[in-house]
Each structure stands twice: as structure tokens, then as C-alpha cells.
Amino acid sequence: MEFNLIDTYLCPVGVLLGIAIRTGSPLSLNLAEPVWKQLAGMNLTIADLSEVLYLQCLLLCVDNEATAEEFEAMTLPFTVPNASGQDIQLSSKYSHITLENRAEYVRLAINYRLHEFDEQVSAVREGMARVVPVPLLSLFTGYELETMVCGSPDIPLHLLKSVATYKGVEPTSPLIHWFWEVMESFSNTERSLFLRFVWGRTRLPRTIADFRGRDFVVQVRTVRQSVN
């Protein structure tokens, strides 16, 4: 029985992303900015390629004033490394980069980079389509889609305070005052680590409504001492 590994593993990922959007429960998921743009239905451009050094090398290949003989001596293969480090042959017509085909090599190399993950992104979007209307995602930017799925990377304390409930202690007690004072002094990374330790999440939902009754409970337990 044949099956597509990409569909098998990435469609469920898309389903999870759709559930996160539908329920407002953020996922702790780190994807590159270009991936979010593609998930939102946007086409990538050269500006989206994060491999600045790689692009500079390609442009250097075009602008290089080496002679045809010098290009031949370098014997540069007509390939490009993929994300896993494997060399991908860009053309069956050419085996090495030459003075004459170098512009074609740059065009094909950039095109490969821009579309390297099209199949994977399509599989994720297929999974998302089972939960949310994917065509409507084109109304959002990649960053907005990331926020919808993962919540805001910033952790605003006013939002956390608004859903906080207290057990065994009064909200106006000095202990609670000190607690929020320490939280104010934390960096955003420290707040994220704190939330992961005590609440099992690294980001907050987008709005108070998205908490859906999942209050942030601050509980103080009193220790009873036995009397001998």
C-alpha cells in the first residue's frame, strides 16, 4: 500500500493549526516567517529569503569578471543544496556552471529556494482546511496568521491579571503585590519560561474571550503545624 509521507505527517499538523485558530488556544510553534506567509497564501519573493549570504554568493556568481577558462577551472556543479544539505541538480542540460550559463543558474537556484517547500505547505493548508476556511486566510499577513495560531510573543501582564483568580489569599495582600511586582521586572523571555513552568504554555491567548474560562489561578496553601 502506497502512502504519501508528507500528507500523512503534515496534514495533522495543519489540523492542529486550524484548531488553535478556532479555539483561541495558542500553540508553542516556531516557524520561519516565510512559512507563515505561504500558509496565508502569499507568494514569496527574493526579499523573503533569509539566507543573505547565499544570495550574495549567487549575485557574486553573476557579477564575477572571471574568464571562461577560470570558470571552467573552478568546476562548480550546477546544483543547489536543499534544506537537508543534499545537492539538487537544477538542470539536466548543464552539469557545471560556466560563463555562459551562470545567469540561468542563478535564476533556477533562486526559483528553487522560493518554491522548495510548496508541497509541504500545501499539505499543511489541506489539514487546516478541515477546520477553518483556508481561502479567508489570504485576508491576513503571515505575522497575523502566526499570532492567530501561536498567540502574541509578548506577554502583557494586564491581560494575565484580568484572568487571574486567587485561592487562599486576598488579591490586595502584600504577597500578591510582590508577585506582580516581580513579574513586572521579568523580561518577556522570563515571563514565557514562568508560564511554561506553572501553566504549561509559553504564550497567552489573543484576548480575554479566548481564555474560555481557563483562569490563571494563584493559590497559596497554608502549612498546618502539628502541636506535640
- Convert the pLDDT of each residue in 97-127 to its tens digit: 887 888 888 889 889 989 989 999 999 999 9
Confidence at residue 9, expressed as pLDDT on a 0 to 100 scale: 79
* Residues pairing with 164 in the sheet: 216
Is residue 2 very low, low, confident or very high in pLDDT (cuts 50, 70, 90)? very low
Per cent of the chain over pLDDT 70 is 79
pLDDT digits 0-9 by tens, 206-225: 666 666 666 778 888 765 54
Q: How far apart are CA 73 and CA 71, in angstroms?
A: 5
- pLDDT given for residue 66 in this prediction: 63
Q: Which amino acid, one-letter code, is at 122?
A: S
Check if the beta carbon of residue 149 is closer than 8 Å to that of residue 23: no
Task: Give me the pLDDT at residue 1, please.
Answer: 37
Q: How far apart are CA 166 and CA 177, in angstroms?
A: 12
Among left, alpha and beta (phi > 0; psi -120 to 50; other), residue 43 is: beta
pLDDT (0 to 100) of residue 3: 44
Tell me the CA end-to-end span of the chain in Å, nearest whole number: 73
| 227 pLDDT above the threshold of 60 | no
For residue 208, the tally of other CB atoms under 10 A from its CB is: 11
What pLDDT score does 203 carry?
76
Q: What is the pLDDT of residues 30-57, one digit of tens each?
A: 888 889 999 999 999 888 876 555 666 6
User: Which residue, among 148, 143, 153, has the nearest Cα to 201 in the 3D structure?
Assistant: 153
